[in-house]
Structure 1
């Protein structure tokens, strides 16, 4: 039983060394995870910024050209009305003999 009391200080030293090494490993793991998370967050932020720029361009195209598109549609309607009145009239009452 006395030999067990003699081993207690060595066991305590080994326990302290093991705990401190586990603590260092955990700190390294946390640091690596934090770095990885920060890197991913930066990538997501860059991707989000790029998407926001693209949406802004699309909004500008739609809003800037919106009036022009409506004007162009009306112009096409006007030319169709003029084209419908011009040209050779179709005689739909006569059908071709086949």
Structure 2
């Protein structure tokens, strides 16, 4: 293999690597800024997760109340009282 073939091979390999990096979204960040960006992304995900957990908890409580109201075998008067109490 002569020098010209080696140079062409190196250029071809780096071009293929660049195409694959672009296709799969790989970035080449380095240093403290990259670490800070990763930590900020984790904090946002944690905040979103906590918010979603709280919302799911609230929705589950509302569903439990609605199920209790729908399956309650008491009279319509008791149902009316429960609805008024929830307002």
TM normalised by structure 1 equals: 0.45
Give 1 or 2 for the bigger CA radius of gyration.
1
TM-score (norm 2): 0.50
